[in-house]
């Protein structure tokens, strides 16, 4: 039903596209961000998001600085968020910021931070 609270809850994963991650590495890093964001959310949002289909969108930014800025903005607004830093076991140096998960949370609140970013391609 349109306007249902579940339709207004989503999660966004923002990836540093400048890293040019191989597909498998990208998938693993995005999965880390999704789990971190989910575990950071209050139980009520977790339940609502799970019941509404777990909407998530993967967006791109162009630098580690942009990722850090997005994470800081989300946390300052009280949104569940987590910056992923790679362990350095494969293709990246240890500590490299790869992506940030924001939400699950109200879509409008996430859009205030990530609404101008392009979809990851």
How much is the pTM? Answer: 0.92
CA 12/CA 110 separation, integer angstroms? 8
Q: What residues of the chain score a pLDDT lower than 70?
A: 1-7
Q: Write down the pLDDT at residue 3.
A: 44
Q: Write down the pLDDT at residue 97.
A: 98
Q: Is residue 60 part of a domain?
A: yes
Its domain, for residue 108, covers 5-114
> Which strand (E) or helix (H) includes residue 121?
none
Q: Write down the pLDDT at residue 2.
A: 40
Q: Is residue 121 part of a domain?
A: no
CATH number of domain containing 73: 3.40.1490.10
Q: Write down the pLDDT at residue 30.
A: 98
Ranges assigned E (strand) in the chain: 9-16, 56-61, 81-85, 97-106
Q: Write down the pLDDT at residue 100.
A: 98
Q: Is 112 exposed, middle or buried (0-12, 13-18, 19+ CB in 10 A)?
A: middle
Q: Is residue 94 part of a domain?
A: yes
Q: Is residue 119 part of a domain?
A: no
State how many domains the chain has.
1
């Amino acid at each position: 039903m349109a306007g249902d609270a579940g339709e207004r809850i989503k999660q966004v994963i923002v990836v540093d596209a400048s890293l040019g991650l191989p597909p498998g590495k990208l998938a693993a890093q995005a999965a880390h961000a999704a789990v971190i964001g989910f575990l950071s959310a209050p139980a009520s949002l977790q339940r609502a998001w799970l019941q509404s289909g777990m909407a998530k969108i993967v967006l791109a930014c162009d630098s580690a600085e942009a990722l850090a800025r997005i994470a800081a903005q989300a946390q300052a607004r009280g949104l569940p968020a987590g910056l992923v830093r790679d362990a350095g076991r494969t293709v990246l140096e240890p500590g490299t910021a790869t992506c940030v998960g924001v939400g699950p949370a109200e879509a409008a609140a996430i859009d205030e931070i990530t609404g101008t970013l392009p979809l990851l391609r």
